[in-house]
Homo-oligomer: A and B are copies of this chain.
């Protein structure tokens, strides 16, 4: 994979996320508009949270492992969605695996496709507003077709050995950057963790032009 993708291009903000992360859902619905207003591009960087949590010795999400925090989080995220005017339905399965749509998103971003944001938002809505599984070929096909794409061709690219490796490498890069949760935003070496820091990341990218 071209190493240039690991630095933030000028006038851009990097959005690191996992389709299983509920706070990443909120950011995925907000970041496009905020970036556009600031004249910034969004670099969509899906990665797998699972291996990161495993590297901390955890076998699931901290929201599952720490019961009190997890319980609170369901209340908080519902309030957050109300605050931002987003649909919300508590998923009956959490955290959901999203390897297949993540591979599609990685392929889309690597090849500079314009549909990455719309695709990611639809996957997030499927998980967090429609409470449906996302790691499912029929579902992903359905979403791609809705976007007017050749689903078969996109899936073939997404499932190529080279593209599978790209998602693994992106996850390894997340570990190298010491990412510990999602969403995480980067502007150069400056890291911002959590949907609550999205505005700060945008402001940082606007201020520095991404040249950090």
Q: Judge whether A193 is part of the interface by a CB distance below 8 angstroms.
A: yes
Q: How many copies does the complex hold?
A: 2
Instruction: Give the residue of B71, B193, B200 whose beta carbon is less than 8 angstroms from that of A72.
Output: B193
Contact mask for chain A residues 156-198; partner B; CB cutoff 8 A; 1 contact, 0 none: 0000000000000000000000111100000000011110110
- Chain B proximity mask over A53-79: 1 for CB below 8 Å, otherwise 0: 000100000000010110110011001
- Cβ contacts under 8 Å, A71 to chain B: 178
Task: Give chain B nearest CB distance to A68 CB in angstroms.
Answer: 4
Q: Which residue of B lies closest to A194 (CB)?
A: B196
Q: How far is the CA of A95 from the CA of B69 in the complex (A)?
A: 20
Q: Which residues of B contact A75 (CB under 8 A)?
A: 191
Extra pairs beyond A56-B68, A71-B178, A83-B200 (16, CB < 8 Å): A56-B66, A68-B178, A68-B179, A68-B180, A69-B180, A69-B181, A69-B193, A72-B178, A72-B180, A72-B191, A72-B193, A75-B191, A76-B192, A76-B197, A79-B200, A194-B196
